[in-house]
Structure 1
Amino acid sequence: MINLDASDLFKVTLKVTLLLLAGRTTIPLLLRYFRSTLCHDVPTVGSSNALLSFLGVFRFWHDAVGMIQDGNAKYPGRAFQLPHPDRWIVYVTDPELIREISSMSTSFVSLMGASDYLFQVQYTGLYQDQQVVNLIRTRITRTLPTLVPKMCETAAEFLRETIPDTGNGWATLPALDVMSECASRITARMFVGSTPAHDKEYTRLCIQWVLGIVKTSILLNSAPNFTRRTLNWLFNPLPRILDQATKNLTSFINQRVSSLHEKSEEEESNETLLDGLLRLNNDRPLDTSLITKKLLSGSFAAIHTTSNILTFAILYLASRPEYIPWLREEVSTCVRNGQWTKSSIESMVRLESFLQESMRLSSVSAVSVLRRTVQPLTLSDGSYIPEGTILLASSLPAHRDPSKYPNPDAFDGRRFHTEEDSLTSPSLAYFPFGFGPHTCPGRFIASSILKTVMAQIVLHYDVKLDRPARPADCWVGIMSFPDPSSKVLFRRIRDEHSDWL
Structure 2
Amino acid sequence: MFEFSSTTWTLIGLFLAYLVKKYINAAFSPIHKIPTVGPSGVITSYWGGLKALKYAKDMIQEGYEKYYGRPFKIPMMSRWVVVVSGPQLIDDVRKASEDDLSFNEAMNEAISFSSFNPPVQVLQVKYILGPELHDDLYHVVAVRNPLTRNLPARFSELQDEIAAAFSEYVPATDDEWSSVPAYSTIVEVVCRATNRIFVGLPLCRDPEYRKLNINFTVDAFKAGVLLSQFPKIFRPIAARLFTNMHAKILHAMDLLGPMLEERFVRDEKFGLEDPERPSDLVSWMLDYAKPQYRTVRDFTMRILVLNFAAIHTTTAALTNALYDLAVHPEYIEPMREEILSVIASEGWTKVGINKLRKVDSFLRESQRLVSGALSVTRRAMKDFTFSDGTVVPKGSYVFAASRATHLDKVNYPNPHEFQGFRFSDMREDEGEEESSKHQTAYLGLDWVIFGGGKHPCPGRFFAVDELKAMLAYILLNYDVKLAEGEGPPEPMWFGANRIPNRKAHVLFRKRNLL
Same fold (TM over 0.5): yes
1:8 matched to which residue of 2?
A: none
Distance (Å, rounded) in 1 between the aligned partners of 2:206 and 2:388: 53
CA distance in 1, matches of 2:191, 2:108: 23
Q: Distance in 1 between matches of 2:183 and 2:283?
A: 30
Aligned equivalent of 2:160: 153
Q: Given the superposition, is the C-alpha separation of residues 490 and 25 from structure 1 closer, same or farther in structure 2, using an over 3 Å criterion?
A: farther
Aligned twin of 2:480:
463
Query: Per-residue CA shift, 1:201-222, capped at 9, x if unaligned?
Result: 111111111222344445666x
Tell me the distance in 1 between the aligned counterparts of 2:238 and 2:321: 35
- Structure-2 separation of matches of 1:58 and 1:283: 46
Question: Contact 2:490/2:500 (CA < 8 Å) preserved in 1?
Answer: yes
The answer for the alignment partner of 2:497 in structure 1 is 479
C-alpha contact 1:152 1:340 (8 A) present in aligned 2? yes
CA contact 2:199–2:281 (8 Å) conserved in 1: yes
Give SS of 2:425's match: coil
Question: Whole-Å Cα distance in 2 between the matches of residues 399 and 267 of structure 1?
Answer: 48
CA distance in 2, matches of 1:296, 1:121: 12
Alignment partner, residue 356 of structure 1: 364
SS at match of 2:422: coil
Q: Is the 8 A contact 1:133 1:441 kept in 2?
A: yes
The alpha-carbon deviation at position 147 of structure 1 amounts to 2.1
Say which of 481, 484, 488 aligns to 2:506. 488
Q: Aligned partners of 2:39, 2:362: CA distance in 1, in Å?
A: 40
The match for 1:125 among 111, 125, 129 is: 129
- Provide, for residues 303-349 of structure 1, a one-character-per-residue CA deviation record: whole Å limited to 9, x for no partner: 12111111111111122222221211111221238921001001000
1:91 partner SS: strand
Q: CA RMSD in A?
A: 2.7
Match of 2:9 in 1: none
Counterpart in the other structure of 2:10: none
One-letter amino acid of the counterpart of residue 508, structure 2: F
Contact 2:441 2:461 in 1 (8 A): yes
Once residues 58 and 183 of structure 2 are traced to their aligned partners in structure 1, the CA distance between those partners, rounded to angstroms, is: 25
CA separation in 1, counterparts of 2:279 and 2:488? 41
Aligned counterpart, 1:6? none
- Out of 443, 446, 451, the residue aligned to residue 468 of structure 2 is 451
- Spell out the pairing of 1:419-438 with structure 2 (5 A cutoff): 419=426, 420=435, 421-438=438-455
Q: Does residue 407 of the first structure (1) align with residue 414 of the second (2)?
A: yes
Q: Please show how residues 8-27 of structure 1 align to structure 2 within 5 Å.
A: none
Summarize deviations over 1:194-244 as a string: whole Å, max 9, x none. Answer: 2211212111111111222344445666x5868995986686333222111
* Equivalent residue, structure 1, for 2:284: 276
Residue 166 of structure 1 corresponds to 173
Greater Cα offset, 276-285 or 245-254 = 276-285
Which secondary structure does the structure 1 equivalent of 2:329 belong to?
coil
Under a length normalisation based on structure 1, what TM-score does the superposition of the two structures give? 0.87
Determine if the alignment matches structure 1 residue 384 to structure 2 residue 391.
yes
Q: Distance in 2 between matches of 1:480 and 1:267?
A: 46
- Could you tell me how far apart the structure 1 residues matched to 2:221 and 2:418 are? 28
Change (3 A) 1:226 1:435: closer
Cα distance in 2, alignment partners of residues 227 and 31 from structure 1: 18
Equivalent-residue separation in structure 1 for 2:481 and 2:169 (angstroms): 17
**Among 370, 382, 401, which residue is 1:394 paired with?**
401
- Aligned to 1:424, what secondary structure does the other structure show? coil
Does structure 1 residue 371 correspond to structure 2 residue 375? Answer: no
Shift in CA distance, 264/278, structure 1 to aligned 2, threshold 3 Å:
closer
Structure 2 CA distance for partners of 1:386 and 1:339, relative to 1, 3 Å = same
Give the Cα–Cα distance (whole angstroms) in 1 for the partners of residues 330 and 222 of structure 2: 36
C-alpha deviation, 1:495, in angstroms:
1.2
Contact 1:30 1:224 survives alignment (8 Å): no
For residues 345-399 of structure 1, the C-alpha deviation after alignment (integer angstroms, 9 at most, x for no partner) is 0100010010000110112x32221111112221112211222211111211210
Q: Deviations over 1:73-122 (max 9, x none)?
A: 12121101111112212110122100011111222121011111213323
Q: Please give the alpha-carbon distance, in whole angstroms, between the structure 2 residues aligned to 1:482 and 1:227.
A: 36
Partner of 1:333: 341
Q: Which amino acid aligns with 1:436?
A: G
The residue identity in structure 2 corresponding to 1:121 is: V
The within-5 A match list for 1:206-355 is 206-217=213-224, 229=235, 236-260=243-267, 261=269, 271-281=279-289, 287-336=295-344, 339-355=347-363
Letter in 1 for 2:184: D
Equivalent position amino acid for 1:405 in 2: Y
Structure 1 pair 478–219 and aligned structure 2 pair: CA distance change class (3 A)? farther
What runs of 5+ residues in structure 1 fail to find an aligned partner?
A: 1-21, 497-501
1:143–1:270 contact (8 Å) kept in structure 2: no
Partner Cα distance (1:211, 1:269) in 2: 34
Q: CA, structure 1 residues 142+354, in 2 after alignment: closer, same or farther (shift >3 Å)? A: same
| Cα offset, 1:51, TM superposition | 1.6
Instruction: In structure 1, give the amino acid aligned to 2:388.
Output: D
Could you tell me whether the CA contact under 8 Å between 1:69 and 1:397 is conserved in 2? yes
SS at match of 1:430: coil
Structure 1 residues 482 and 451 mapped into 2: Cα distance closer, same or farther (>3 Å)? same
Q: CA deviation at 1:123?
A: 4.0
Instruction: Indicate the residue corresponding to 2:146 in structure 1.
Output: 139
Q: Distance in 2 between matches of 1:404 and 1:393?
A: 15
Does structure 2 conserve the Cα–Cα contact (< 8 Å) formed by 1:37 and 1:389?
A: no
Task: Work out the percentage of aligned pairs sharing the same amino acid.
Answer: 33
* Match of residue 102, structure 1, among 85, 94, 115: 94
Contact conserved, 1:37 with 1:87, CA < 8 A, in 2?
no
Q: Tell me the distance in 1 between the aligned counterparts of 2:468 and 2:423.
A: 15
1:397-437 Cα offsets, whole Å, 9 max, x none, are 21001123222112111111123221111121222101222
- 1 CA distance for matches of 2:19 and 2:291? 51
Contact kept? 1:143, 1:269, Cα under 8 Å: no
Is 1:182 matched with 2:199?
Answer: no
Query: How many positions carry a matched residue from both structures?
Result: 473
Task: Give the Cα–Cα distance (whole angstroms) in 2 for the partners of residues 181 and 393 of structure 1.
Answer: 31
Tell whether the 8 Å contact from 1:34 to 1:88 is kept in structure 2 after alignment: no
